[in-house]
Amino acid sequence: MERPRAVVRGPVLDSADPLGLARFYSALLDWAILVAPDGALKLECQFDPNYVAPIWPSASGQPLAMAHLDVAVDDLARAEAWALECGATLAATQPQKGVRVLLDPAGHPFCLFEHAIATRPRQTVIPRAVVNDLDRAVTFLRAVFGVDAEVHPSRPVEVRLGDSVVLVSEAGARAAFPAFLYVYVDDADATYRRAMDAGATSVEPPTDTEYGDRRAMFRDPSGNVFQVAHRP
């Protein structure tokens, strides 16, 4: 039997308050909260009505931590202070010099350790759309792609789609100028339906292409055109 393709997408953490836990890690790591993350490494927070926080260090007969996260940081003292500000708790036992063990709001232990971190370069080409109504454009992207983007009046909005960033800014200094984007998603048909519900205009209904993509095409209310596709 030939080994099937497999990839680790990331750990899943149980919690009685998964949204609160997601907000904690979003603040701690500067990661976006996505409803349906696509492709990139993710940390998933999952609701469990019977969740009980583990005991760390472990003790016989007590709930055990099944796994923990190791988080590399470039400044251990500052990272510890930031984690505490985000809502973490410093564990009573610190077994190793150069490592800080903390507990997230759900009680999961995680470790901070100092390590040189290469700055992640921005992608070479960053698409940009200039729109007449920034709030409406971002609301559409949230509804269709599940992005977690915040509008700041003084700068373009950074929208993360999978592993890529798209800038969206409001017309003013520059005239409105639409973008034309090809976006890989988990389900092109479902994305197309969400776009139609959010006020988009259909350009091409979902169809199978000769090169293997299942693809659809629509124009958003701001005039930006999206081709969304997945590989069946």
Residue 9: the pLDDT is: 79
Other beta carbons within 10 Å of 114: 15
Does pLDDT of 35 surpass 80?
no
The set of residues, in sequence order, having a beta carbon less than 8 Å from that of 84 and lying 6+ positions away, is 90, 102
Closest CA to 204 of 222, 192, 186: 192
The fraction of the chain above a pLDDT of 70, given in percent, is: 93
Residues 70/113, Cβ–Cβ less than 8 Å: yes
Residue 37: the pLDDT is: 62
| DSSP assignment of 48-101 | -TT--PPPSS--TTSPPP---EEEEES-HHHHHHHHHHHT-EE-S---STTEEE
52-101 per-position pLDDT tens digit: 999 988 888 988 888 899 998 888 999 999 999 999 999 999 988 889 99
Q: 44 phi and psi, to 5 degrees?
A: -100, 140
In whole angstroms, give the CA distance from residue 31 to residue 117: 16
143-183 per-position pLDDT tens digit: 999 988 888 777 889 898 888 889 999 998 889 999 999 99
Please, which pLDDT band fits residue 193 given cuts at 50, 70 and 90? very high
Closest CA to 88 of 5, 44, 25, 132: 25
Residue whose pair of structure tokens reads 């603040």 in the numeric block: 27
What is the pTM assigned to this prediction?
0.53
CA dihedral 68, 36, 170, 173 (to 10 degrees): 60
CATH class, domain 128-230, is: alpha beta
Does pLDDT of 122 surpass 70?
no
Residue 35, both tokens: 């409803």
Residues 103/91, Cβ–Cβ less than 8 Å: yes
| Structural domain boundaries in the chain | 12-114, 128-230
Mean pLDDT, residues 108-116 taken together: 88
8-19 per-position pLDDT tens digit: 778 999 999 999
**Angle subtended by helix axes 18-29 and 76-86, to nearest 10:** 150
CA distances from 157 to 82, 129, 135 (A): 25, 10, 10
The fraction of the chain above a pLDDT of 90, given in percent, is: 63
The CATH code for residues 12-114 is: 3.10.180.10
91 burial type by CB count under 10 A (0-12 exposed, 13-18 middle, 19+ buried): middle
Higher pLDDT, 155 or 23: 23
